[in-house]
Amino acid sequence: MTTNYVRRRDLLLGLGTGAAFLAPFARQVKANAAGKVGQGKLVVFFTPNGHARAQFGSDGNDASFKFRSGMAGATPMADEISVIRGLSNKSQHPDRPFHDQISRLLTTKTGDLVHTGMGPSVDQAISDLSAKNPLNLKVYWSRYDNVGTYQNLSWKKAAFPNRNENDPRKAYTAVFSDFMPSGGGMENPEMKLALEQKKSVMDFLKEDIASFKTRLTTNDKNRLDVHLDAVREFEKKLETAPATPGAPAGTGGCPMAKADAAKAYPPPVDSGPYNRDAFKAHGDIQASLLLASLACGARVAGSIMWQGGAGGLNPLGGTGKADDHHNVSHNDAPYEVWSSIDNWYAGRYASFLKEAKDIGILDDTVVLWVTEITESHSHNNAIFPIAGGKNLGFKHRKSITLPFSGDENGGRGAARNTANRSLSDLWTTVYRACGGQGNFGEDVAGPITEVWSG
Amino acid sequence: MKLVVQRLGGLVVSVSLGALVAAGCSGAASKGSGDGGGPGGETPVAPPGACSLPTGSLPPRRIIRLSPLQYSNALKANFNHTFEASALPPDPLAGGGFAVFDTNFAEKQVTPEHFNVFRGAADAVAAATIKSLEANNGCVLNKPDDACVATFVADYGQRAFRRPLDDDEAGRYRTFFKTAEGKWGAKAAARMIVEAMLQSPRHLYRTELGGGDGEKVALTQYELANQLSFMLADQAPDSELLQAAKDGKLRDADEVKKHAQRLMSGGPARARMVSLFTQMYGVSEGLAANLAKDTAVYPDFSPTLRDAMTKETGTFIDAVLNEGGSLKTLYTADHSYLNKALATHYGASTSGLGNDFKKVSLPAGRRGLWGHASVLAVHSHKDGTSPALRGITLFTKLFCRPIPAAPPGAVDLANGKIFAPDKNFTQREHFEFAKQKAPECTSCHGHFVPLGLGLEQFDGVGKQRTTEFGKTLDTKVNLTGYGDDVDGGYEDTLQLIDKVVQSDIGTRCFATQAFSFAFGQDVDSDTLDSCEIKRLADGLKASDFSVADVMLNLTQIDSFYNRRQGS
C-alpha cells in the first residue's frame, strides 16, 4: 500500500497556530517503547444491541476453526481471530440491566450510580500507562447523541465519560495537530527555543490553576483537575518532543494515506438509516484515523463506536420494524435478519483488521469486538471476538467456551454465580498484555489463558 | 460610557475608558478576594421585595466554563479575534429530568480536546497582539519599565478575565513577564503573557464564588456583570456593565434591570431566548439536521423540507419575541412563517410564497409550536408517530414532571406482551391493547401517552389527517390531577395546551425551565414550589405572559445575587 506522511502544509491548513508550531515534528517514525507498555495497543470495536447468540461466533479450533453465519463476513481474517463465549458482566446495575449498562462494559466496576462507569475504562487505563488519552470515535450520529446514557463507553474516571468524536475532521485535528512522535535528527535552535517557551507557559499555567483552585468546591476542583490533566498531557508531549524539523521517515512511518481523507470529510449531519453508504464510508474513515493514531504512536488505545447502545440503524435496511436494529434485536424480525446485521459488522471488523495488518500494527494491537448486551437485555454468557496482538501473546483460530451456569438470558443474580467468569477477566487479560500490572475491574479470577499465553 | 477604539495595526480593540483607567493605564490593580472573582465581601441579601431563599436553596458557589458561542463572542469583543465556535467539541446536554439545556454548568470542562483548541486560539491571538504592538511601537516590546509592564498586564488581563486583575494575579503575571523577558526578550515575554492569560481558567471560566466565608455569599460586582451579560446575551460584559461593576452598582436590582433591558433590546439576547425554546423541543438546527424519515412511509419528506421545518420554528419564535414575546402566542398563534414547500405540506395558502419565509395564516386545527412540523416530526419515529415520545415531551416540558426510570424488566415485558398487535391498529388501539396486556405499565405510561394521543391528528412528519387505516382518529384528552384551572376534557392536545400555558402549573413550569436555562442549574419537582418560581410565574401572568419579562425578572431574585457556600 502507499504510505503517506503527515505534511507540514496540511497541518498548517485550518489547524491554527498551535498546529503550525508543532507541525515540523509530524513527519516521523512510530514510537518504540521498551517492554510492553506502549507496545501493546487496544482497539474496542463496538456495535449495539448484542448478537443473535446461536448464529454468532465460531466453532472448532485451528484447522477446523470456522465462523458461524453471523460472523462469516470475517472469514478472510480468520487467522487473526479467536472467539470467547461464556463471559458475563457481573458489574451490571441491579435495577438497570438494559442497554444503558454500556457504561459498565469497559469498567466492570459496580456502584450505585446507574449510568456511571465508576472508574477508568480499560482503554483509559491502558492509555494512562503511556500518559496518553484514548481516541474514542463514533460513527452514527443521532439526535439523541448528547444524552450520554447510551453513549458513555469510555471513562476517564468515575463520573467523567470520555467524549466520542464523530466528526473525522475534528478527530484528525485532535490527534495530529499536536502530534510529536519521537525521532532523531539535527537540532533546530529556533524550534528548541520555542519549545522552552511553551514549557515555561505550561509551568506558569499549572501554578495559575493551582492558585485558582484554592476556594473552589470539591466538584469544581475535580473539574479543574481535568483542565490540569490537559495541560500536563501537552507538557509531556513537549518534554518528549525533539527539536527536529523533520526527521527521516523510516519504515513503518505514519500511515496517513487513508486517514488523510478525514481532513476533507464533510461534517456528519445525516448518517441516518437512509444514507447507509455514508454510514459505511464514515465508519471506514474513522477506522483509518484510529489506526493511524496507533501506528504513529499518538495513541495506544481507543474505540470505534458504530452506534450508541440500542442504536436503531440497520446498515442493511429492511421494512417496517426490521429496518431498526434495536427492534430486530427484540424479536421484531426473524433471527436471520439479526444475524445478517451481525455479519455486516463482521465484514467491517475484518476490514479493520486487514488495514491494521497492512500498516503493520495488528500483531501489537488487540482488537476486541464488544456490544452492550447479549440477548433479551441480558448481560450473561456473552460472546467476544478478539483479534490481533500475536506479538503480545494472543493465540488465534480458537473457539473458547468458558463454563456458564444458570439462565443466560437472566439478570444480575445469574451473572454473579461464582461459577461464571467475569468480563473483567477479559479486561485483565488485555490490560496485562498491554503492560499493566495486576487485575482490571472487579470479580477477577485471572487472565483468560485459553487465548493469551502471557 | 464613551467607547475608546484603539486601532492597533490590524487589531481593532474596543475597551471602555473607565476600565482602562481602572485596570491598566494607571498600572494599578485592585485588592481583591484572590479567587479570581474580583472585589467582593458585600452583604448577601436578597433584593428588596424578592424572596429570601433558605441558604440551601440557592445555587452553589461554582465556576462555569464558557460555552463555545460565549467563548467566541468574548474573543471577538475583547481581542477582535474571529473564532469559529464549532471548532470546539460540543458539550453534553445535562440537567434534571425535565430541564435539559446546553447551559448546564456541570458538564462543561476543559478536556484535552478543548484545551488543544483553546491553545490554538491563544497562540493566534498572542501572535496578532504582537503584530499590533509592533505596528504601534508599544512600549512593552522595547525594554519596558515597570509601569509599562504593569499597564500591559492590567490591560490584557482585563480583556482576558473580563474584570480587573487583583493584586496577586497582577503580581504573578508581572513576575512571569520579567522572568521570560530575562531569558528570551520582551517580545517573547509579551506573547507568552497573552498565551498564558488565554489558557487560564480565569479566562475560560466565569466564576460565581462571591466574597466572604459565610454560609451565604454575595457574588462580586464583576461576577454579577459577567453573569448578567452571558446569561441574557451569551456575550462578555460590555464597557457600561464593567463601569457599573467598578462603581459598585450591581447589587442594586434596579440598576441591574436597567442593564438587562439594554442587553435584551439586542439580537443576541433574542437569539438566546429562541434557543431556550428550540432546546426544549429538540429543534435547534444542529439537532434537527439529523432528522431522518422512512421515505417509503413519508414520500414527501426530504432534507429540504426538514430544513424548512427547522427554519419555520426559529423564524416564528424570533418574530414572536421581537413583537413582544408572549408565551401564549408561541403556543397558540394561528399564524406562522412558511415557504411554499412547507405551506404546501401544511395545506396552507401558497399565494405569494416562494423560497422565502413569510407570515402565513395556518389552516384550521394547526396552531402554535405544537402545530409545527419540526416539533411533531422530531418527536415521532421515522416510520410513524410516537404518542410516547410526544407525550413524554409534553409531560416534561409543559408540566415539569420527571419520567421515572423504567422498572426492572419493563422492556422485556413490553417486548413479550405488547409488540404484537394488529398491524393496522391505530396508536390509541395499540395503547388500549397494551393496557390490557400489561396493566402494570399504565402507572407510568398512563400519564404521558394520552397527551401524545391527542396529537394523532398530525402524522410523523406533521401533516394533518383525520383517519388512519380508514379509521377516524380519536384525539380527545382528559386531564385530571393538575389543578382546577386545567383539569377537564379537551378535543385534542392543542386545545389542552392553550389552557395549560396560562395555568398555574403551566406558568410555574415555564418559569422553572427558564430558571434552569438561565442559571445552568439542575431543577427538580420541588423547584416548582419554590418562592422564586411562584413569583416568576405570577410575574408571567401579570405581564400577559411576556417571555422577556421572565428573563428580566430572573435578574431580580435572590438566586441571581447570592450563592450558598457549599463544600
What is the torsional sign of CA B144, B148, B151, B155? negative
Alpha carbon distances (Å) from B557 to B21, B45, B48, B79:
32, 10, 9, 33
pLDDT of residue B526: 83
Residue A16 pLDDT exceeds 50: no
* DSSP string for B78-95: HH-----GGGSPPPPPEE
Comparing CB atoms, the residue among A142, A173, A217 nearest residue B567 is A217
Is residue B142 helix, strand or coil? coil
Cα–Cα nearest to A74, from A346, A289, A323, A262 = A346
pLDDT of residue A254: 67
Alpha carbon distances (Å) from A271 to A174, A277, A312:
22, 9, 12
A133 at interface of B, judged by CB pairs closer than 8 A: yes
Within 13 A of B548's CA, how many CA atoms are on the CB side?
22
Interface of A with B in 30-89 (CB under 8 A): none
Residue B288 C-alpha, separation from nearest chain A C-alpha, in angstroms = 7
The DSSP output letter for B383 is T
Residue A226 pLDDT exceeds 70: yes
Cα–Cα nearest to B175, from B161, B157, B189 = B189
Higher pLDDT residue, A261 or A253? A261
Pair A258, A100: CB distance under 8 Å? no
pLDDT of residue B528: 86
- Cell numbers describing residue A304: 470505534
Q: Grid coordinates 435495577 are at which residue? A: A95
For residue A103, which amino acid is it? S
Within 13 A of A430's CA, how many CA atoms are on the CB side?
30
Identify all chain A residues contacting B124, using CB atoms and an 8 Å cutoff.
16-17
Indicate yes or no: CB of B209 within 8 angstroms of CB of A216: yes
Indicate yes or no: CB of A208 within 8 angstroms of CB of B60: no
User: Angle at which helices B267-280 and B253-264 pack, to 10 degrees?
Assistant: 90
Residue A170 to residue A164: CA distance in whole angstroms: 11
For residue A149, which amino acid is it? T
What is this structure's pTM? 0.68
- Cell numbers describing residue B179: 522572568
Pair A3, A255: CB distance under 8 Å? yes
- Mutate which: A95, A100, A220, A379, vs B, most B CBs within 10 A: A220
Residue A341 C-alpha, separation from nearest chain B C-alpha, in angstroms = 19
pLDDT of residue A28: 27
pLDDT of residue B36: 43
Mean local confidence (pLDDT), A433-445:
94
pLDDT of residue B277: 95
Indicate yes or no: CB of B172 within 8 angstroms of CB of A219: no
- Cell numbers describing residue B447: 400519564
Comparing CB atoms, the residue among B112, B200, B408 nearest residue A208 is B200
- Cell numbers describing residue A400: 473458547
Q: Which residues of B291-317 are buried (b: 16+ CB within 10 A; e: fewer)?
A: bbbbeebbeebeeebbbbbbbbbbbbb
Using CA atoms in the order B49, B51, B54, B56, what is the torsion angle rounded to 10 degrees? Answer: -120
Pair B53, B46: CB distance under 8 Å? yes
- Cell numbers describing residue A241: 518532543
Between A363-372, A400-409, B92-101, the lowest mean confidence (pLDDT) is in B92-101
**ipTM entry:** 0.85
pLDDT of residue A167: 86
Higher pLDDT residue, A428 or A150? A428
pLDDT of residue B293: 83
Residues in CB range of B470: below 8 A, 6 or more apart: none
Backbone Cα Rg of chain A: 22
> Tell me: the pLDDT tens digits for A144-202?
444 557 788 999 888 788 888 888 888 887 787 655 443 333 345 666 788 889 999 99
Residue A22 pLDDT exceeds 70: no
Comparing CB atoms, the residue among B112, B180, B405 nearest residue A133 is B112
For residue B520, which amino acid is it? G
- Cell numbers describing residue A237: 508531549
Residue B270 to residue B274: CA distance in whole angstroms: 6
- Cell numbers describing residue B297: 412511509
Q: What is the largest CA-CA distance in chain A?
A: 67
Cα–Cα nearest to B323, from B340, B307, B335 = B335
> Tell me: the pLDDT tens digits for A211-225?
999 889 888 998 899
Cα–Cα nearest to B100, from A445, A144, A171, A378 = A144
- Write a three-state SS string for B521-566: CCCCHHHHHCHHHHHHHHHHHHCCCEHHHHHHHHHHCHHHHEEECC
pLDDT of residue B290: 66
Identify all chain A residues contacting B195, using CB atoms and an 8 Å cutoff.
201
Comparing CB atoms, the residue among A212, A229, A267 nearest residue B202 is A212
% of residues, chain A, pLDDT over 90: 46
Mean local confidence (pLDDT), A82-88:
96
Cα–Cα nearest to A228, from B199, B3, B343, B366 = B199
Higher pLDDT residue, A76 or B11? A76
Indicate yes or no: CB of B201 within 8 angstroms of CB of A269: no
pLDDT of residue A177: 63
Residue A24 pLDDT exceeds 60: no
SS3 of chain A: helix, strand, coil, percent, to 5: 40, 15, 45
Higher pLDDT residue, B129 or A117? B129
Using CA atoms in the order B227, B231, B235, B241, what is the torsion angle rounded to 10 degrees? Answer: -50
Cα–Cα nearest to A379, from A424, A338, A411 = A411
Task: Name the band, by pLDDT with cuts 50, 70 and 90, for residue A29.
Answer: very low
Residue in B with minimal Cα distance to A166: B89
Is residue A301 helix, strand or coil? strand
A174 at interface of B, judged by CB pairs closer than 8 A: yes
* DSSP string for A137-193: EE----TTTT-GGGT---EEETTEEPPPB--HHHHHHHHHTT----------HHHHH
Size of chain A, expressed as the number of residues it contains: 454
Residue A22, burial from CB neighbour count under 10 angstroms (0-12, 13-18, 19+): buried
With a cut of 70, which residues of chain B have pLDDT below it?
Answer: 1-41, 92-97, 285-290, 405-421, 567
CA A364 to chain CA centroid, nearest Å = 15
* DSSP string for B318-340: HHHHHTT-BHHHHHH-SEEEE-H
pLDDT of residue B549: 95
pLDDT of residue B49: 85
For residue B89, which amino acid is it? P
Beta strands in A340-396 (DSSP E): 365-370, 382-388
Q: Which of A17-26, A33-42, B327-336 is predicted most confidently?
A: B327-336
Beta strands in A236-316 (DSSP E): 301-305
Residue A249 pLDDT exceeds 60: no
pLDDT of residue B291: 78
Residues in CB range of B313: below 8 A, 6 or more apart: B277, B278, B281, B283, B369, B372, B374, B375
Mean local confidence (pLDDT), A95-116:
80
Interface of A with B in 251-270 (CB under 8 A): 267, 269-270
Indicate yes or no: CB of A227 within 8 angstroms of CB of B204: yes
Residue in A with minimal Cα distance to B289: A269
pLDDT of residue A331: 76
Higher pLDDT residue, B415 or A424? A424
Residue B362 to residue B464: CA distance in whole angstroms: 12
